[in-house]
Amino acid sequence: MLSHLRQLEAESIQIIREAVAESEHPVMLYSVGKDSTVLLHLARKAFYPAKPPFPLLHVDTTWKFQEMYAFRDRAAAEAGMELIVHQNPDALARNINPFTHGSSVHTHIWKTEGLKQALDKYHIDMAFGGARRDEEKSRAKERVFSVRSAQHRWDPKRQRPELWQLYNGRTAPGESVRVFPLSNWTELDVWQYIRAEQIPVVSLYLAAPRPVVERDGMLIMVDDDRLPLAPGEQPVLKSVRFRTLGCYPLSGAVESTASTIVDVIAEMLLTTTSERQGRLIDHDASASMERKKQEGYF
């Protein structure tokens, strides 16, 4: 009998192979986070000894942690995969940032609009994402294969029933499918798999002394000189780590001494706050995920 991790792994590989077989221009959305990292690892397994027959797509906001950029380039090179980096030219021109425009506008223009632009530009008909159903209550009903209109909208009426291991990835011209091979994984499964497979992750997930400032009750790391400091505000060196990674001004750190994967898992088993609490974007409105999904965000 296969263990739960091996069953999840086999299921994800089956999904990845199926999605690629049913699409013409597949791509894997790669955000450099732990879920993306596991997804990339599974894709490499799915097609071994061949390389995954699709490029990685990073929808960049220019505001990620410096370490994430370095990790991203290394990971793509190691997998021997093409890396497409897309930055919304409109956002670049208008210098959209979380401070002047707020987290909601920032995320919408850089990520949601940026993603749509990239999918259109490369005629993508299938995009892998690393979302899991356990992340958020409204995702509990999300399909593994999620159909999007030519306008990238998620229409609840068009979502298809999924039975057995059978997925229907057929699309009309212009339409696309988002495929979530990690749908049935929990945060704990992801970490356990990272440990079992010894997959390298961005070291921001592990505790280290980092310069942080406190904003709205969240610890924000001062990753570069673009973070405006209030008069007299001084970054403090604290032992922190991140449970989720995104744009550094929007990612809250937690104080921690967990400096290994095992420590992180132990801390997680003892922890009492859910993963998404560290994400500033989710605090905007309670139904925000649902709205973002309809607009085309993951």
Partner 1 sequence: MPAQILGTDIEQYLDAHERKSLLRFITCGSVDDGKSSLIGRLLYECQLIFDDQLAALASDSRRYGTRGDALDLALLVDGLSAEREQGITIDVAYRYFSTDRRKFIVADTPGHEQYTRNMVTGASTAEVAVILVDARHGVLTQTRRHTFLVTLLGIRTVVLAINKMDLVDYAEERAEQIAEEYEAFASRLGELDITCIPLSAVHGDNVVARSDRMPWYAGPALLEYLETVEPRRPPGAAPFRMPVQTVLRPDLGFRGFAGPVVRGTVAPGDRVVVLPSGRTSTIDRIVTFDGDLAQAEAGQSITVTLTDEVDVSRGDVLASATEPAAVADQFEVDLVWMSEQEMLPGRSYLIKLGTQLVPGSISKPKYRVNVDNLDRLAATTLGLNDIAVCTLSLDRAVPYDRYADNRELGGFLVIDRLTNDTVAAGMLRLALRRSTNVQWQEVEVTKQARARLAGHQPCVVWFTGLSGAGKSTVANLLERRLHALGCRTYLLDGDNVRHGLNHDLGFTEVDRIENIRRVAEVAALMVDAGLIVLVSLISPYRSDREQARSLVEPTEFCEVFVDTPLAVAESRDPKGLYAKARRGELPNFTGIDSEYQPPLWPEVHLEMTSLAPEEAAERVLLTLRERGVLPS
Interatomic CA distance for residues 282 and 17, integer angstroms: 32
187: its two tokens: 């945060």
Q: Does 2 bind partner 1 (CB under 8 A)?
A: yes
Q: Tell me how far, at minimum, the Cβ of 211 lies from partner 1, in Å.
A: 26
Contact between 150 and partner 1 by CB under 8 A: the answer reads: no
Binder of partner 1 out of 70, 77, 150, 172 (CB under 8 A):
172
Q: What is the four-CA torsion angle of 274, 115, 104, 286, rounded to 10 degrees? A: -40
- Considering the complex, state which of residue 160 and residue 215 has its C-beta at the smaller distance from partner 1: 160
The correct pick among 10, 70, 77, 237 for binding partner 1 (CB under 8 A) is 10
* Residue of 61, 97, 146, 183 interacting with partner 1 (CB under 8 A): 183
Among 41-49, 90-98, 123-131, 220-228, which window interacts with partner 1 (CB under 8 A)?
Answer: 41-49
Least separation in angstroms between CB 232 and partner 1: 32
67 vs 290 by CB, closer to partner 1 = 290
Q: How many residues bind partner 1 (CB under 8 A)?
A: 67
Single residue of 95, 198, 234, 273 touching partner 1 by CB under 8 A: 273
Handedness of CA 260, 261, 267, 273 (dihedral sign): positive
Q: What is the CA radius of gyration of the chain?
A: 19
Q: Is 196 in the site for partner 1 (CB under 8 A)?
A: yes
DSSP calls for 17-58: HHHHHT-SSEEEE--SSHHHHHHHHHHHHHHTTSPPSS-EEE
The helix (run of H) or strand (run of E) holding residue 86 is strand 83-87
Q: Does 285 bind partner 1 (CB under 8 A)?
A: no
| Total residues belonging to the chain | 298
Q: Which of 87, 186, 239, 288 binds partner 1 (CB under 8 A)?
A: 186
Q: Rule CB under 8 A: say whether 7 interacts with partner 1.
A: yes
Using rule CB under 8 A, residue 97 touches partner 1 = no
Neighbours of 215 (CB within 10 A): 15
Is 70 one of the binding residues for partner 1 (CB under 8 A)? no
**What is the rounded CA–CA span in Å between residue 204 and residue 210?**
10
CB burial readout 216-239, b (16+ within 10 A) else e = eebbbbbbeeebeeeeeeeeeebe
Long-range contacts of 99-106 (CB under 8 A, 24+ apart): 99/228, 99/249, 103/250, 103/280, 103/281, 103/284, 104/281, 104/284, 106/61, 106/63, 106/247, 106/250
Take residue 202 and report the two structure tokens written for it. 């961005």
Nearer to partner 1, 172 or 236 (CB): 172
Under the criterion CB under 8 A, does residue 151 sit at the interface with partner 1?
A: no
230 part of the interface to partner 1, by CB under 8 A: no
Least gap, CB of 261 to partner 1 (angstroms): 9
| SS3 of residue 277 by DSSP | helix
Give me the residues that bind partner 1 (CB under 8 A), please. 1-11, 13-14, 17-18, 20-21, 44-51, 133-134, 137-138, 140-141, 156-166, 168, 170-172, 183-184, 186, 188-189, 192, 195-196, 262, 265-266, 269-274, 277, 286-287, 290
